[in-house]
């Protein structure tokens, strides 16, 4: 099986032994407590799950600056996005060697992890802006990732962590949330050697379904891991439970048995476009995938990135040998009325016109579903559309 990133073994930070975890929970009760932001809590869950191996905790300011500028830590580990615990005030933990990190996303703010405090660094406004510019390609506060990063604070609390639970993800999504070691075990049990990973924060329409099948066929994959983000999104994105139900129905009815697994991970979307695409590749390698589909506007938002910037970053900025996972570069896919099937648009026969494709904007799809109108069968499987329609009519 493909090796994890930067190491021969995964290094999940979740404390698996019940007795040790109970002792740490008791210790956390008596430690200085720091309520972290949602992104830091999600980072802790990703560290707990082994997705961020070989990292052991939160980066300090110098590592964050180095990662932003050069896509590597100060000790040379290739990494595209700073993994940080950034806060506005550290008065409650000043002088502490160990602290309890409190979960902002669970009622009562229970302890999520214990952190060894190796350093506390105050960034300048200029350093924060520089990090945002490099990671997100913009400092526009209307960009959701920029807004989240710059509003969290500018004090970097660095050090390794021991994680006590998986926040709300394991409880709210017991059939979907999986750690990197669990997915590796799933791949091994299925006997798969080549595995395509598909990233999604949206329901899967026919274009997505076809893209997974095309990628599997082109690379000779034994199976696909449909790996959905379960964390915080923009306000207009579809909730994870609705996406989960829709994707499960599609795989149940339209994929061959034992060719696709539906899983999810506990992370808040960054909307960082190219840099986030590289992060996606790292943690898909950690979970055992050999290929990652990177399509049009991967991990993007609005008009901040070019349609294929998330592909060109792998070609131009990822050093040779930095990653073992391979990238399947995909074009926009849509149903061709000429061909009678879903195809990648760049592979359309000569003479194809835009009007020969069945393409609906996200706004149009939401409007149709909210009004109870059926989506074209060329665009969405009817069973999937029904689940989405029920959601939009309930919330509209």
Catalytic residues: 201-202
Asked whether the beta carbons of 56 and 178 are under 8 A apart, the reply is: no
Q: How far apart are CA 157 and CA 93, in angstroms?
A: 10
Q: What is the DSSP string of 36-71?
A: --HHHHHHHHHHHTTTTTT--EE--HHHHHHHHHHS
Token duo for residue 202 = 């949206």
Q: Are residues 167 and 235 in contact, defined by beta-carbon separation less than 8 angstroms?
A: no
> What does the alpha-carbon distance between residue 296 and residue 185 come to, in Å, rounded to a whole number?
30
Nearest Cα to Cα of residue 236 among 265, 269, 263 = 269
Both tokens assigned to 100: 């309890």
Tokens of 53: 């191996």
Burial status of residue 245 (CB atoms within 10 A of its CB: 0-12, 13-18, 19 or more): middle
Q: Identify which of 267, 333, 269, 261 has the alpha carbon closest to the alpha carbon of residue 295.
A: 333
């Amino acid at each position: 099986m493909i090796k994890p990133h930067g190491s021969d073994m995964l290094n999940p930070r979740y404390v698996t032994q019940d007795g040790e975890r109970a002792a740490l929970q008791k210790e956390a009760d008596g430690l200085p407590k720091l309520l972290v932001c949602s992104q830091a809590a999600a980072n802790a869950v990703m560290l707990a799950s082994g997705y961020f191996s070989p990292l052991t905790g939160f980066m300090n300011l110098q590592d964050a600056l180095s990662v932003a500028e050069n896509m590597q830590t100060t000790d040379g580990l290739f990494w595209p996005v700073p993994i940080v615990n950034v806060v506005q005030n550290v008065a409650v933990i000043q002088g502490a060697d160990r602290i309890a990190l409190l979960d902002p996303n669970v009622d009562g703010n229970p302890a999520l992890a214990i952190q060894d405090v190796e350093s506390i660094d105050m960034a300048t406004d200029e350093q924060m802006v520089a990090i945002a510019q490099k990671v997100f390609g913009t400092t526009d506060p209307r960009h959701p990732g920029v807004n989240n990063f710059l509003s969290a604070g500018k004090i970097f609390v660095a050090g390794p962590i021991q994680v006590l639970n998986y926040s709300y993800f394991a409880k709210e999504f017991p059939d979907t949330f999986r750690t990197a070691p669990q997915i590796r075990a799933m791949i091994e049990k299925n006997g798969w050697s080549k595995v395509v990973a598909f990233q999604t924060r949206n329901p899967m329409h026919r274009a997505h379904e076809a893209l997974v099948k095309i990628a599997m066929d082109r690379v000779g994959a034994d199976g696909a891991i449909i790996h959905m983000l379960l964390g915080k999104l923009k306000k207009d994105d579809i909730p994870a439970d609705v996406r989960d139900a829709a994707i499960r129905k599609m795989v149940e009815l339209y994929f061959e048995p034992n060719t696709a697994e539906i899983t999810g991970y506990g992370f808040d979307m960054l909307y960082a476009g190219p840099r986030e695409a590289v992060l996606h590749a790292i943690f898909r390698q950690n979970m055992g995938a050999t290929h990652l589909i990177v399509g049009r506007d991967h991990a993007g938002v609005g008009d901040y990135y070019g349609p294929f910037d998330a592909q060109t970053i792998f070609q131009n900025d990822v050093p040779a040998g930095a990653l073992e996972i391979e990238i399947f570069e995909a074009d926009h896919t849509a149903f061709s009325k000429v061909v009678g099937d879903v195809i990648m648009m760049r592979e359309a026969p000569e003479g194809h016109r835009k009007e020969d494709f069945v393409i609906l904007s996200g706004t149009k799809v939401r409007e149709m579903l909210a009004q109870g109108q059926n989506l074209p069968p060329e665009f969405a499987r009817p069973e999937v559309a029904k689940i989405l329609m029920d959601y939009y009519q309930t919330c509209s």
